């Protein structure tokens, strides 16, 4: 049984946070808008960040200021940035330096940062935020003074308040301040796990991995289930599902992949006379089995990659027929998306290279030449009564293989 909270990673030692040096500023996303529950969301965000930092190869520390998390450690800053950019819930990830809160030191850090040849002739603006109201200058005075002194020290620079090449950001906290001049976009969204846990029906195509990623960005921790056509198809789709789940697990405390051999049950449906209902009947069997599996592992909803009308099996009537068989809500984050948008998003999250590979999906096994676009529930029920559904589902669940992509590097042993 899953608990949705990730395992805690030891808190940083106080001595780690005392030294000046490189760090990373992580600006909070939607969490920032939360009211009284904000602290809980921030704790979840930090738990996920600690999980993402596991195995990085050196000690790390995390510090919270208002609406910002500061990350540092005895590892190269690029490695911290790379890990932090995969944590859902930060609007931006900014490589920064941490200095004592006095103006001379802040200016020295800024001059140091902007002295490289890549900033020759660049335009810049200073943006300051003062969290420490005891600091002797207001934010706008800090901006003016830092700007003037940087300009005097680096004559190649020019000021542009509206469309600068570089935004020099100064965050003044109580004892220390953070200076940064590079801002990388984060993944924004809600911390994974803050909305509960879901089971994603993961095929080998472009859509379901993108749907999973979108579900994660709305705070759902995801496990995965993949149905393959074994024993009648080759194992290629299982390897693809494994690779996709491993990629997706880089964005969350890793979820499990359950692999279920559907081939025999598909044949039973065909023998029972499914005909043009075959694909919708299979989908109903998938969501029934997935609902039962989710109930066992703590999932509260199913997620699919359906997009309305994309293919014959995804008409409104067929989706209604599928939903009727599920005992958990079926979430479809891609319902209104177009295929090209989905493929572009698959490229940006890193799943497209796997999805494009050929496989022998269980859906093509026994698929009729024409799939019904209007599956009638009474016809489906008559068909399903010819099978002992409870027994079929029990057998499917018993044969499920559980893999942990990204948690260890075992290759999937393909179920018989
Ligand atoms: N073999 C499978 N195992 C698990 N889920 C599946 C499988 N086949 C389909 N699904 C689920 O049903 C959804 C619709 O599948 P369908 O084959 O109709 O569309 P698709 O456009 O090929 O989807 P995808 O690009 O995700 O493969 C998938 O996005 C996925 O969530």
Is 310 near ligand 1, meaning CB less than 6 Å away? yes
Residue 416 lies inside a defined structural domain of this protein? no
Instruction: Say whether both 162 and 217 belong to one domain.
Output: no
**Ligand 1 atom 6: the closest Cα is on which residue?**
203
**Which residue matches tokens 């290279």?**
353
Instruction: Say whether both 252 and 120 belong to one domain.
Output: no
Is 253 near ligand 1, meaning CB less than 6 Å away? no
- Quote the number of domains for the chain: 2
Reference 124, options 110, 105, 138, 137; nearest CA is: 110
Residue 411 lies inside a defined structural domain of this protein? no
For 7-34, the pLDDT digits (tens) are 444 444 434 444 569 999 999 988 877 7
Domain coverage including residue 156: 14-185
Is 226 near ligand 1, meaning CB less than 6 Å away? yes
Which residue ranges make up the annotated binding site for ATP? 201-202, 226-227, 283, 305, 314
Is 335 near ligand 1, meaning CB less than 6 Å away? no
The whole-number pLDDT of residue 311 equals 78
Instruction: Say whether both 102 and 153 belong to one domain.
Output: yes
- Are residues 383 and 224 in contact, defined by beta-carbon separation less than 8 angstroms? no
280 C-alpha to center of ligand 1: Å?
12
Q: What is the mean pLDDT of the chain?
A: 90
Instruction: Say whether both 378 and 351 belong to one domain.
Output: yes
Residue 18 lies inside a defined structural domain of this protein? yes
Instruction: Say whether both 328 and 356 belong to one domain.
Output: yes
Sheet holding 196-201, edge to edge: 330-331, 301-303, 196-201, 220-228, 257-261, 401-403
Instruction: Say whether both 247 and 350 belong to one domain.
Output: yes
Half-sphere exposure at residue 155, Cβ-oriented, CA atoms within 13 angstroms? 0
**Ligand 1 atom 31: the closest Cα is on which residue?**
304
* Predicted confidence band of residue 389 (pLDDT cuts 50, 70, 90): very high
Question: Domain boundary residue among 164, 185, 206?
Answer: 185
314 C-alpha to center of ligand 1: Å?
10
d(CA 237, CA 226): 9
The whole-number pLDDT of residue 247 equals 96
Can you spell out the DSSP letters for 63-79? EEETTEEEEEESS-HHH
For 30-63, the pLDDT digits (tens) are 887 777 788 899 999 999 999 999 999 999 999 9
Residue 8 lies inside a defined structural domain of this protein? no
Question: Domain boundary residue among 165, 185, 205?
Answer: 185
**Ligand 1 atom 23: the closest Cα is on which residue?**
207
* Predicted confidence band of residue 408 (pLDDT cuts 50, 70, 90): low
Instruction: Say whether both 374 and 242 belong to one domain.
Output: yes
What is residue 326's three-state secondary structure? coil
Is 313 near ligand 1, meaning CB less than 6 Å away? yes
Is 203 near ligand 1, meaning CB less than 6 Å away? yes
d(CA 247, CA 206): 13
The whole-number pLDDT of residue 217 equals 97
Looking at residue 33, which CATH number applies to its domain? 3.30.2130.30
For 216-226, the pLDDT digits (tens) are 999 999 999 99
For the segment 142-146, the average pLDDT, to the nearest whole number, is: 96
Residue 207 lies inside a defined structural domain of this protein? yes
Residue 4 confidence (pLDDT) above 70: no
Instruction: Say whether both 107 and 242 belong to one domain.
Output: no
Residue 4 lies inside a defined structural domain of this protein? no
Instruction: Say whether both 71 and 129 belong to one domain.
Output: yes
Q: pTM of the predicted model, to two decimals? A: 0.89
- Are residues 331 and 287 in contact, defined by beta-carbon separation less than 8 angstroms? no
Neighbours of 79 (CB within 10 A): 15
339 C-alpha to center of ligand 1: Å?
13
Instruction: Say whether both 113 and 223 belong to one domain.
Output: no
**Ligand 1 atom 17: the closest Cα is on which residue?**
363
Looking at residue 393, which CATH number applies to its domain? 3.40.50.620
* Predicted confidence band of residue 2 (pLDDT cuts 50, 70, 90): very low
Instruction: Say whether both 131 and 280 belong to one domain.
Output: no
* Residues 6 or more apart in contact with residue 141 via CB below 8 angstroms: none
**Ligand 1 atom 12: the closest Cα is on which residue?**
304
**Ligand 1 atom 8: the closest Cα is on which residue?**
203
**Out of 78-82, 181-185, 274-278, which region has the weakest mean confidence (pLDDT)?**
274-278
Q: Which atom belonging to ligand 1 lies closest to the Cα atom of 279?
A: 18
Q: Which atom belonging to ligand 1 lies closest to the Cα atom of 208?
A: 26
For the segment 349-364, the average pLDDT, to the nearest whole number, is: 85
Question: Domain boundary residue among 144, 162, 185?
Answer: 185
ipTM for the whole complex: 0.97
Residue 9 lies inside a defined structural domain of this protein? no
Instruction: Say whether both 51 and 127 belong to one domain.
Output: yes
34 C-alpha to center of ligand 1: Å?
34
The whole-number pLDDT of residue 7 equals 43
* Predicted confidence band of residue 360 (pLDDT cuts 50, 70, 90): confident
* Residues 6 or more apart in contact with residue 130 via CB below 8 angstroms: 137, 138, 139, 142, 172
Residue 20 lies inside a defined structural domain of this protein? yes
């Amino acid at each position: 049984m899953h608990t949705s909270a990730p395992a805690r990673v030891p808190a940083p030692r106080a001595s780690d946070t005392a030294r000046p040096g490189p760090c990373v500023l992580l600006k909070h996303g939607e969490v920032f808008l939360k009211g009284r529950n904000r602290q809980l969301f921030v704790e979840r965000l930090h738990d996920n960040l600690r999980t993402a930092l596991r195995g990085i190869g050196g000690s790390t520390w995390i510090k919270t200021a208002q609406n910002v998390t500061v990350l540092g450690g005895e590892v190269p800053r690029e490695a911290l940035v790379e890990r932090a950019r995969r944590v859902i819930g930060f609007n931006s990830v900014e490589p920064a330096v941490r200095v004592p809160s006095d103006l001379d030191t802040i200016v020295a850090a800024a001059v140091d940062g902007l002295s490289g040849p890549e900033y020759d002739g660049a335009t810049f603006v200073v943006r300051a935020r003062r969290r420490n109201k005891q600091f002797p200058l207001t934010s706008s005075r800090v901006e003016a003074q830092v700007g003037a002194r940087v300009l005097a020290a680096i004559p190649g620079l020019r000021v542009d308040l509206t469309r600068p090449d570089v935004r020099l950001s100064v965050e003044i906290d109580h004892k220390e301040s953070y200076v940064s001049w590079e801002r990388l976009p984060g993944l924004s969204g809600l911390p994974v796990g803050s909305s509960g846990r879901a089971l994603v029906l993961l095929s080998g195509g472009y859509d379901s991995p993108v749907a999973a990623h979108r579900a994660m960005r709305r705070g759902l921790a995801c496990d995965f289930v993949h149905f393959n056509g074994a024993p009648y198809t080759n194992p290629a789709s299982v390897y693809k599902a494994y690779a996709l789940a491993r990629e997706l697990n880089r964005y969350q405390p890793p979820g499990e992949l359950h692999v279920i051999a559907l081939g025999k049950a598909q044949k039973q449906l065909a023998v029972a006379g499914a005909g043009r209902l075959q694909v919708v009947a299979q989908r109903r069997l998938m969501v029934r089995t997935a609902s039962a599996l989710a109930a066992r592992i703590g999932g509260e909803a199913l997620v699919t990659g359906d997009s309305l009308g994309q293919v014959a099996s995804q008409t409104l009537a067929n989706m209604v027929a599928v939903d009727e068989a599920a005992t958990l809500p079926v979430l479809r984050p891609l319902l209104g998306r177009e295929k090209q948008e989905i493929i572009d998003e698959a490229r940006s999250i890193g799943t497209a290279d796997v999805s494009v590979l050929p496989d022998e999906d269980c859906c093509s096994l026994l698929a009729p030449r024409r799939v019904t676009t209007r599956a009638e529930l009474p016809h489906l029920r008559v068909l399903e009564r010819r099978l002992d559904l409870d027994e079929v589902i029990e057998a499917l669940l018993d044969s499920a293989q559980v893999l942990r992509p990204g948690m260890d590097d075992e290759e999937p042993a393909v179920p018989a």
